[in-house]
Structures are given as structure tokens and as C-alpha cells.
Structure 1
Amino acid sequence: MRILVYGAGVLGSYLAHVLVRGGNHVTVLARGQRFHELQNDGNVIRHYLQLRTTVDNVHVIGELQPEDVYDLIFVVMKYPDFQAVLPALAANHSKHVIIVGNNASPHEMREYLLAESPVKKQIAFAFQVSAGWRETGRMICVRGPKGQMTIGGLGEDLSWRSVIDQAFSNTSYKLTYIKDMYEWLISHIVMILPLNSIASSYHGDLLQAAGDKKLLHHVIDAVDEGHQVLEKLGYTVTPASQKQFARKNRKMFYLGLRILLATPVGRILLSEKAVSANEMFALNQAFHHLKQSANIPTPNWDILENYSPLQNNNR
């Protein structure tokens, strides 16, 4: 298949690696230094947990032209950056588009693309389970034994699922399809925003944060409050196990947080190096609007916004 990966950060680079190894003809859209890295040295990825480095040759472009038609386009970038690429994406004549990453406004994105495109587009939204950071000349990718992506429409089944399956048919990559990706995405936001407040509370010292019982309980309570916001607005927390974990398995949640913050990999995943402050700010602004609409108390979210270890009296 002829596939474009629009975005050459950690997640886009890893997705391109998977698709190339699956036998697809992969083009990556990149700019600046990353464009030259890919053009001169290939797609270099250090797989952190697997202790190996891969290099894949990919075709590289700097702009998407309307007449550049692909069987499938994956748009992989941070939430605040999506808006800037929508005009070029709409003008392009490719019919199948998957927008991958944290996203608080998929309905608006889909409406824009459908309204502005000269061809009828099929649009899905997805989230890839991986993390990492950029180093000069390569990407550091932290992931499980094989790639995973949750993917779906906005309340409808994907009639063109076979196109996506074909792209991954020769890979070990796991696809999980769900019907309403918006509910999944906002449920994910409810989880990651409190978790990522831990690093800012201790200026990145996650090992010290692991010993702050009060902070960790505020995080768990904030996650539960976030679920209550979604429920008040009529959304279903997805997956359902996420709500049960925060509401009924608090001890396990707490122990899991302690373990996560005490291990090197866990500290990497929540570190400022692997987390975009700009993206977290934008997602927090979006969730703030949901909280206002729900109009219910969220005291633990309020506490986490200005949490200081000096206020700590372990509970």
C-alpha cells in the first residue's frame, strides 16, 4: 500500500517503522532538521526496552500537495498541532485519513475535513500506545513487545476497516477497534492529566513524588472526579475498567502509582522529557470546558493545579 505518515516525531517515526517492515511503500512528511535526518540517515529508532536500533529508508516530503494521492494517511502529532495541518489535509485528494494522538476535538476536525475536501473522505481517530523522546539523529521509543493502536469512528463502525487491516496485515502490530473513539479519547485525557501533574508538583523529581501519599491520593480522586464529569455529561467512560479501577480498586491504583514512579521506565513515561507541556496545557483547557458544562465540584483537580509539597501532611 501507498501510505503517508504526516508527522515525524516519536510516534510517527515508530508507526512508519512498523508500516515499512510490513511491506508498505511509506512516505513521511517532515520539516526542518528532521527532514534532513530522514533524508540523509533514514528513520533511526532506538527501541529502549528491546535494546536494539533499527534503520529504515523512507521517502520524505516537506509539503502535502493536493494531487499526492495515498491509499491511507496517518496524521500523527501533538494535539495543539493538528489545527495547522487541516487545510492541507482537506485539500489533498486522498480518501482515507486516520488522525492519531491525544485529541479533545475530533468532531470539529472531521466536520472541517468533510466540508472542505474536494473528495469524499473516510476519517477515523486513533491512539498509539508508545512514548519516547527525540535525540539528535534518532528517536528513542519506549513501547511494549509489539505496537498497539486503538482506533474507531465517532459513534459509527468503520465501513472501510479492511483498508486499515491491509496496511498492518504483515506486521505483529495489534489493532483494537471501538465504535466511539471520542469517548475513549476524553476518558484517556481524564487519566493522563492528573498523572502528569505529579511531575510538575515536584519539578520533575518523580522518585521523591512517589513518597507523597497525599499527592497520589489527590491524583486518584481527581481521576474519579473526571469520570463523574463525563458521566454527568452523558458519556461512557471507555474502557469501563478504567472507571472501576479508580473508583473501586483504590488500593491497587495507589500501589500501581507507587510502582510506576519507583521504576526507571515509569519515571521516563511521566517525565518532562517524554511529556509535552504544551499539549498537556491544551488538553487541560479542553477538559476545563467539560468541567464547566458538567457544573459539579472537582476539588481534587483544583488542588492539583497548585499543589505544593510544602502543603503535604501524609494521609
Structure 2
Amino acid sequence: MKILVYGAGVLGSYLAHVLVRGGNNVTMLARGARLDELQKHGNVIRHYFQFRTTADKVNVISELQPEDIYDLVFVVMKYPDFHSVLPALAANHSSRVVLVGNNANPAEMMDYLQANSPVQKQVAFGFQVSAGWREPGRMFTVRGPQVQMTIGGLGEDLPWRTVIDQAFVNTKYKLVYHQNMDEWLKSHFMMILPLNFIAPAHNGDLRKAAKDNKLLHQVIAAVDEGHQVLEKLGYTVTPASQLKLARKQRKMFYIMLKIMLSTPVGKILLGDKAVSADEMFALYQAFIDLKSRAGIPTPNWDTLGIHSPLLQS
């Protein structure tokens, strides 16, 4: 299949690697230093836990033209950056687009693409479970043996999911389909935002944060407050195990946090290299809007947010 990966950061680079190894004709859209790296050396990835480095040759472009048609377009970027690329995506004549990443307003983005495109746009949303960071000349990817993407539409089954399945048929990559990605994505950032308040509270010292019992309990309570906001607005928190963990299994959640913060995994997932301050700020603003609509108090969110430099933008 002819596939475009729009966005050449950590997550987009790994997705392109998977799709190339699956036998697809992959093009990556990149700019600046990353464009030069891809053109000169290919898509170089250091697989952190697997102790190996791969380099894949890919086609590279710096702009998406209307007449450039692909079977699938995966847009992989931070939430605040999606809005800047919507006009180019809408003008392009490719008909199937998957927006991958944190997203507080998927319905708004879908409406824009469908209203402003000269062709009928089929739009899906996804979230890839992997992490990493960028170093000169290569991307570091932190992942398990099989990376998973949760993917779906907004309240309905994807009638074109067979096209997506075909792209991954020869890969070690798990697709999990979900009917309502709006609920899934909102539930997801209600979990990750409070977790990202932990490191700044102790200037990045996660081992010190692991000993701050008050902070950890506030974070867990904030996750539950976020769930309550969603429930008040009529959303179903998903997956249900996330709701159960924050509301009924708080001791387990607390122990999991202490273990994570005391090991290198915590630094990988919550350290400076893994956290985008502008994305956290944008998601927090989306939370404030949801909270305002719900009209319920969130004292733990408020306390954590006041003291977080991630939100001082």
C-alpha cells in the first residue's frame, strides 16, 4: 500500500518503521534537521529495550500537495500541532486519514476535514502505545515486544477498517478497534495529565517524588476527579479498568506509581525528554473547559495545576 506518515517525531518514526517492514510503500513528511536526517541516513531508530538499531529507507517530502494521493495518511503529532496541518490535509485528495495522538477535540477536526475537502474524507483517530526521545541522527523508541494502537471512529464502527488491517497484515503490531475514540481520548488525558504533574513537583527528581505520599495521593484523587467530570457530561470512562483503578483500587494505583517512579521506566515515561510542555498545557486548557461545563469542583486538579511549571505558558 502507498502510505504517508505525516510527522517524523518519535511516534511517527516508529510507525513508519513498522509499515515499511510490513512491505508498504511509505513516505514520511518532515522538515528541518529531521528532513535532512531522513534523506541522508534513512529512518534510524534505536530500540531501547531490544538493544538494536534499525535503518529503513523511506520516501521523504517536506510539503503535502493536493494531488499527492495515498491509500492511507497517518498524521502523528502532538495535539497542539494538529490544527496547523488541517488545511493541507483537507486540500489533499487522499480519502482516508488517521489522526494519531492525544486529542481533546476529535469531532471538531473531523468536521473540518470533511467540510473543506474536495473529496469525501473518511477519518479515524488513534493512539499508539510507545514512547521515546530524539537524539541527533536517530530516534530512541521505548516499547514492548508488540506495539498497540487503539483506533476507531466517533461513535460508530469503521466501514473501511479492512484497509487499515491490510497495512499491518505483515507486521508485529496490534490494532485494537474502539467505537468511540472521543470518549477513549478524553479518558486517556484525564489519566496522563495528573501523572505529568509529578516530576515538576520535585524539579524532575522522580525518586524524591516517589517518597512524597501526599503528592501521589493527590494525583490519584485528581485522576478520579477527571473521571467525575467526564461522567457528569455524559461520557463513559474507557477502558473501564482505568476508572476502577482510580476509584476502587487506589492502594494498587499508589503502589504502581511508587514502583514506576523508583525505576528507570519512570524517567522514560515522565522525564523531560518524554513530556511536551506545550501539549500538556493545551490538554489542561481542554480540561478546564470540560470542568467549566460540568460545574463540579476539582480541588486536587486545582492544587496540582497551580504548582506545575508545565502549565505556566
TM-score between both structures, scaled by the size of structure 2? 0.97
Distance in 2 separating the partners of 1:122 and 1:16: 21
Distance in 1 separating the partners of 2:33 and 2:13: 14
| 1:163 aligns to 2:167 (yes or no) | no
- Segments of structure 2 that go 5 or more residues without pairing to the other structure are 309-313
Corresponding pairs, count: 308
| 1:272 aligns to 2:269 (yes or no) | no
Deviation at 1:203?
1.2
Q: Which amino acid aligns with 1:47?
A: H
Distance in 1 separating the partners of 2:113 and 2:307: 40
Distance in 2 separating the partners of 1:306 and 1:71: 45
Q: Which amino acid aligns with 2:53?
A: T
Distance in 2 separating the partners of 1:71 and 1:220: 42
Q: Deviations over 1:223-267 (max 9, x none)?
A: 000000000000000101100011000110000000010110222
| 1:304 aligns to 2:304 (yes or no) | yes
2:180 maps to 180
Identity of aligned residues (%): 73
- Segments of structure 1 that go 5 or more residues without pairing to the other structure are 309-315
2:311 maps to none
Distance in 2 separating the partners of 1:123 and 1:305: 33
Deviation at 1:284?
0.4
Superposition RMSD in Å? 0.8
| 1:31 aligns to 2:64 (yes or no) | no
1:122 maps to 122
1:248 maps to 248
| 1:141 aligns to 2:168 (yes or no) | no
CA contact (8 A) 2:43 2:138 kept: yes
Matches within 5 A, 1:1-315: 1-307=1-307
Q: Which amino acid aligns with 2:263?
A: T
Q: Secondary structure at the match of 2:111?
A: helix
Distance in 1 separating the partners of 2:107 and 2:198: 30
Distance in 2 separating the partners of 1:138 and 1:267: 19
Q: Deviations over 1:101-126 (max 9, x none)?
A: 00001111000000000000110000
Q: Secondary structure at the match of 1:186?
A: helix
1:311 maps to none
Q: Which amino acid aligns with 1:16?
A: A
Distance in 2 separating the partners of 1:305 and 1:81: 22
Distance in 2 separating the partners of 1:71 and 1:238: 30
Deviation at 1:307?
4.2
Deviation at 1:144?
1.0
CA contact (8 A) 2:45 2:141 kept: yes
Q: Deviations over 1:256-297 (max 9, x none)?
A: 000010110222111111110110000000111000110111
Q: Deviations over 1:148-169 (max 9, x none)?
A: 1000100011000000000000
TM-score between both structures, scaled by the size of structure 1? 0.97
Distance in 1 separating the partners of 2:67 and 2:48: 38
1:312 maps to none
1:313 maps to none
Q: Deviations over 1:61-115 (max 9, x none)?
A: 0000000000000000000100000000000000100000000011110000000
CA contact (8 A) 2:206 2:266 kept: no
Q: Secondary structure at the match of 1:169?
A: coil
Distance in 2 separating the partners of 1:238 and 1:38: 37
Runs of 4+ more than 6 Å apart: none
Q: Deviations over 1:177-197 (max 9, x none)?
A: 000000000000100000000
Distance in 1 separating the partners of 2:110 and 2:156: 13
